[in-house]
A and B are shown apart, each in its own frame.
Chain A
Amino acid sequence: MSKKVAFLQGNEACAYGAIYAGCRFFAGYPITPSTEIAEVMAKEMPKIGGAFIQMEDEIAAMAAVIGASLAGTKSLTATSGPGFSLKQENIGYACMTEVPCVIINVMRGGPSTGMPTGPSQADVMQARWGSHGDHSAICLVPASVQELFTETVRAFNLAEKYRMPVTVMPDEIIGHMRERVVFPQPGELEIINRSLPTVNPCDYMPYDTSFGDVPPLASFGSGFRFHVTGLNKAEDGFPTTRAEIVQAEEERQVRKIKRAIDDIVTFEEYLLDDAEVVIVAFGSISRSARYAVNEARKNGIKAGMFRIITYWPFPERQIRALAEHAKVMIVPEMNLGMTIHEVRKCVEGRIPVSGIFRVDGEPISPNEIFAGIQEVR
């Protein structure tokens, strides 16, 4: 059987990736530049027995997604900048209650309404710290249309495996560009479903740590009756203010991701073996960076690129290791310096780290990065 190949827009590929992963519920609200995801889901969900709903606002869309997931359906919402801000309340709720779901945030300019049709990479810190309180975050930053498909699948897998919201953040360029996509065959990519309880319903506790840091999650309506609250809770799901339980539960929720970093963190190393100048890039800008690295190599400069695919948890160990051998790092990003702080934290002052920042709605070109390489070598 020959593979299905299509010429797709990033947002379209994202929707088809979600469907491949088993998503059968979408709730959204129109917002540029992510709307095409909702449009594809509105068209496709009924065909496969799923459900699509356009909610009254972004907050409601996030809430509906959590409700549907708790009822046992893999669920997705998609948004952009201002909508992502509105969703933070219920993203925190999904973190606290440990309900799997996937959020697509197609990054556009900001703050506030910003530049709705322009690309940006300025939401990466919001993806980590946008919702109040301590919590973990998983955030994926694909760099091609194909990768937006596969990373959306991976986002569902991670959400289901670790019982938490996972964010996929293509910048607007990746969301709106068109490229060749090879559809994986059914079964070709691994599909992970949440672990369901094996105990009797009367013995079930939604946060039973005797099953490990990621306890099984029952579905509403499946014969298990339990309580879910955004308050600090005990193993049985009911609210508690007992200091030792609150401390232990919050630590577990952060620990479950810390301990799984090697399973979650992904990246690409491009010509890094002997690299003296290391570009740390992600999303569409990594494409400019790759070109710039090639140009540098042609000019006898030992340049390479570390491409972030999993932004959160941040690939700290890998970047720290690179700083052992590289002479300098350059971080080009479509913001006024966000990733550079994370990189500097990893590098711990051992080598200089410089940035190339743009927030004018224009991508950072290969020439700009190449010029940056020539400047620092």
Chain B
Amino acid sequence: MGFDYEKYIRPGKLPHIWCPGCGHGIVMKGLIRAIDALSLDKDKTAMVSGIGCASRLPGYVDFCTLHTTHGRAVAFATGIKMARPEMNVICVGGDGDGVAIGGNHFIHACRRNIDMTYLIMNNNIYGMTGGQFSPTTPYGAKASTTPYGNPDPPFDIAKLAIGAGATFVARGTAFHATQIEKLLIEAMRHKGFSVVEILDSCPTTYGRRNKFKSVVEMMHTLKDIAVPVSAADKMSPEQLEGKVLTGVLYKENKPEYVTEYAKLVARVQEAG
């Protein structure tokens, strides 16, 4: 028997807003399958997003869903998790939402190591507003606000997360569909702040400005640049030039925020 997506998709809410060729749908599929694999209780699962194409995801899925203000998903989610620590909290969003306007919330959630999973669909562009450059747009790339090429160097989201203290950081791509599910399963199992960056593509606002001839070509690019961390060890710096590491990039066990706060509460109450 095939997978029952209807268990998780809200009736009457499709079609989604994403353009043909956008990878967000593939990511949503991986997320649903991961949640199913972990048998998460739908009533006890909150999905929180900010603003942008990727942030529309929660509207389509049958959980406690919160579509918040631009960049603020993790901050709203922190309130939910503190108030109901028993809930599974998943944040979803794009690159601009997560590490530009939401950058401060992102790094502090990493630092706090609060138990939630942040899924970032990184398509290197502000798609919803028509293709302005984002903090992950490559140097030199064309966007509607970089008509002469992007003079800004980009963020590496995974490195940013590791540097800020996230205790689980993974990266995949929209091409490697089955890996998305696996990475998310591992991320959601992890106790602490887990970040999963999925390299994605926006043919509508990024591809057409940057000489990609088709959606297929963009997808193949994701395939070509991805190098599994397991394979990278055996590769020379020259071979790794222009490549992006995928898989679980970082994992450590550190005290988790909500658990630590609960201990603090117990300690204070014991002292009377």
Contacts and interface: CB of A to CB of B under 8 A. Distances in A.
A69 B83 CA distance: 8
B80 A220 contact: yes
DSSP class of A's interface residues: helix, strand, loop or mixed? mixed
Given A47-B268, A238-B59, A63 B79 contact: yes
A227 B12 CA distance: 14
Contact of B84 (A27, A72, A231, A239): A72
B237 to A, nearest CB: 36
A150 to B, nearest CB: 26
B269 A67 contact: no
A12 to B, nearest CB: 19
B68 interface: yes
B164 to A, nearest CB: 11
A226 B68 CA distance: 14
A28 to B, nearest CB: 12
Interface residues of B, number: 39
B69 A89 contact: yes
Nearest to B107: A56
Nearest to B42: A225
B265 A49 contact: yes
DSSP class of B's interface residues: helix, strand, loop or mixed? helix
Interface string B7-50: 00010010000000000000000000000000000111010100
B80 A68 contact: yes
B67 A53 contact: no
A356 interface: no
Interface string B63-96: 1111111001001111111111011000000000
B142 interface: no
B256 interface: no
B264 interface: yes
Interface string B95-131: 0000000001101100000000000000000000000
Contacts of B87: 71, 220-221
B261 interface: yes
A64 B75 contact: yes
Contacts of B64: 220-221, 224-226
Interface string A222-236: 111111111100000
A60 interface: yes
B108 A55 contact: yes
Given A47-B268, A64-B78, A239-B59, A227 B65 contact: yes
A228 B66 contact: yes
Contacts of B52: none
Contact of B82 (A68, A226, A228, A230): A68
Q: Which one of A25, A60, A61, A75 has the greatest number of beta carbons of chain B within 10 Å?
A: A60
B46 A220 contact: yes
Interface of B: 10, 13, 42-44, 46, 48, 58-59, 62-69, 72, 75-84, 86-87, 104-105, 107-108, 261, 264-265, 268-269
6 interchain residue pairs of minimum CB distance: A67-B79, A64-B79, A63-B75, A60-B75, A71-B83, A68-B79
Given A64-B78, A64-B79, 15 more contacts: A46-B269, A51-B83, A67-B75, A69-B83, A71-B46, A71-B84, A71-B87, A72-B83, A220-B46, A221-B87, A225-B43, A225-B62, A225-B63, A227-B58, A230-B68
